[in-house]
Structures are given as C-alpha cells and as structure tokens.
Structure 1
Amino acid sequence: MAKKLFLIIGAPGSGKTTDASLIAQKHSDTIVHYSTGDMLREEVSSGSELGATIESFISKGALVPLEIIVNTIISAINNAPVDNVLIDGYPRSVEQMTALDEIIEKEDNINLTSVIEVRVSEQVAKDRILGRAEEAKEGEKRSDDSIEVFYDRMKIYTDPLAEIQAFYTDKNLLHIINGERTLEVIVDEMDAFVQSKI
C-alpha cells in the first residue's frame, strides 16, 4: 500500500509543528510526524552513507544540498513505521517543491495526499514570535534584532509562497486552515481533515 504524505506549510509562528506533532501523538498507530531538521538528524544518527554525507555538510556549517534533503525525505517516508506521514516545513522554496514533485511522480509507493497551509497574518505571526512584551521595549537594540530576524524568516517564507500555492492549487492539493484560532480548534480541524483523507 502506498504511503500517504501530507506536507504542512506555514509562516514562523503559525504553529504548524505543534499542530502536526499533536495529531501524530493522538494517532501514533497510524500517523507519524517529521520535520525536515529531525529527518536530517535521524539520518545522521542512523550511521548510513547518506547520513555521513549530511554530517559532512552540517559540520562545516554548509547548507545541505537539495538533492540530499529530498532523498532524506523519501528515505524517511519509505521507512516510516506507519502509512501516513506528516512533514512540516517543506517545501520552503520553489526548487524544493519541484525536486520533491519530480521524485514523487516516479515513486509508486508515495502518494502526496495534501498540502496543508496553516495561515496566519503577519501581525499574528509577529506577536507570537516576539511576544507582546517586546513591543514595549521597541527602543532596545535586542528587540530590533529579533524583529529583523523575524522579518528575514517571514520573507524567506513569503517570497516563494504564491508560486507554491499556485502549484499545489493546480494539482488540487492545497488545503488552507485558519491558524489564528486556539490550538485546540486548529488541531481538531486539521485532524478531521487528515482523517478524511486516510
């Protein structure tokens, strides 16, 4: 039976990792959740050849090449203990999206079932990341630094977003969830959606 893959994307502060991990905890017999970073670390600790290659990039502080990230994802999905896999934080770029798509087209045993976007406004994302208290200390250097980091992260997310949304919308795979509500409501809605697809 083909594994069902759900990609979960969202801005920093959207809560996507928490949402996905709670759903996987609730259905540990049928659903597993990975974030891209976890998968790379797991591959390294497995002692595989792929892991050794990944380690050589990470130890130099270099970015892990796209092809390796995609191979790691495919390897993680194929080795997943259950048939339904949630991956958050991927794709982060058009290149990542295209690379994964090309491989999944060829893989009979992986079916990209849905791409779930946890959508929040920039203001909500910023409030969650920086915390309300930071607003009062606007004048301090540290606060500006963290705000700059937030905007950098936000830009990395939003720059390719329209193209990613269009690509998956064309494939009838994009499902948008309003991430501005309470955690419980969001998790319940995402959970119900995932369950309806598996």
Structure 2
Amino acid sequence: MKKLFLIIGAPGSGKTTDAELIAKNNQDISHYSTGDMLRAEVASGSELGAEINNYISKGLIVPIKIAIETIVNAIKNAPTDVIIIDGYPRSMEQLNALDEYLKEDSSLELCSVIEVHVSEETARDRVLGRARGADDNTEVFDNRMKVYTEPLAEIQAFYSAKDLLHVISGEGSIEEIVSEMESFIKTKI
C-alpha cells in the first residue's frame, strides 16, 4: 500500500524546499510539488500548459480536473511507496475530489496533512525576495495569499476531524523544519 503525505502552507512557507530535502535524504520517499508539476506543463508549451498558464499567471487555482489528473498520474507513477505532495489541496473542491479518489483506491492511504505555518509577513518577504517567476510580484502574491487563506479554516477542520492534520512552524531554520517534518513522517510509515 502506498502512503501519501500532503504538505500545505502559504506561498513562501518553504513547503516545497522541505519536501525536496526529505525526499533527497530518504530514497524510499518520492516528492512532487503541485506547483512544479503545473509549471513544467506550462514550460512544455503544450495546449494543456497554455490553459494552466491562464490560471497561475493570475494567481488563480487551476481547475480541479487538471489538478487531480496531474496528482493521480504522479502517485501512480511514483517509484516509491511513500509519496509527499506539496501544495495540495488548496480548496475544498480539491480536498473533496482527492477524498473521493482515496475512498475508491484502497491501494493508497493518506497518512497525514502537514501544515507549514508562517506569518503573512514571512511569506511575503520570502516570495518577493525569491522572484522565481512571473507570479512572484506583490499583486499576484496578495491574490495567492487570499486564495490560500480563504478555505484554510475549512480544510484544517476537515483534516483535524479525521485526526490527520499536523501543524509545524515554518519560521525556524530549514534544518530545524526538515528535521521535525522528517521525524514526524517516519513515525507514520
């Protein structure tokens, strides 16, 4: 049975970096970033990539069908039985779609949803300081933060009720955060 860990957090919370380092330290863990998977599709120049770009260039959520298809393909093709996906879910619609998928697929278990919590000020400083792409500017950051925070309480409540939510602080050093997250994941596998 494959074990799935989801990592959520504000733009700039460090969730992708944390997950990448954990996967790098553990050969039995695969990591996929929803954002990176979608950006790679945009970079490919495909028709789907152009459609995705219409959403992410404005800081909007990519339609559920595209996001689920991307995630399910990654899970099915993962070379390991432990999978970390960061940046998902970002809405109740995405959460419900994944929850439905998990009910139908008995070969996959959602072990935990890890929330990397940072202040909005920290998130803003990190995102605007990195300027990784066209979506890293103040206007788009503000929209991405709004898109992240609006459904957050509902997402937290859903996973808390299932005893799946685990919150860690993303304010410390990368080493501290990765160590805490990695230790927690190992207790679940």
Q: Which of 137, 148, 155 is equivalent to 1:164?
A: 155
Quote the residue 1:74 is aligned against: 72
1:154 aligns with 2:153: no
How does the TM-score come out when normalised to structure 1?
0.80
CA separation in 2, counterparts of 1:39 and 1:147?
Answer: 23
Quote the residue 2:96 is aligned against: 98
Cα distance, 1:12 vs structure 2: 0.9
Cα distance, 1:59 vs structure 2: 2.8
Deviation track 1:67-97 (CA, whole Å, cap 9, x = no partner) reads 2321331222122111000000011111001
Cα distance, 1:44 vs structure 2: 9.6
CA separation in 2, counterparts of 1:150 and 1:62?
Answer: 16
Quote the residue 2:7 is aligned against: 8
In the TM superposition, structure 1's runs of 4+ consecutive aligned residues that sit over 4 Å from their partners are: 40-45, 60-64
Distance 1:93 1:13, change over 3 A: same
Q: Which runs of 5+ in 2 are unaligned?
A: 56-61, 130-135
Q: Which moved more, 1:120-129 or 1:61-70?
A: 61-70
How does the TM-score come out when normalised to structure 2?
0.84
Q: Which of 147, 172, 188 is equivalent to 1:181?
A: 172
Distance 1:88 1:62, change over 3 A: same
Q: Which runs of 5+ in 1 are unaligned?
A: 46-54, 132-144
Cα distance, 1:41 vs structure 2: 6.9
Cα distance, 1:40 vs structure 2: 5.0
Aligned residues: 176
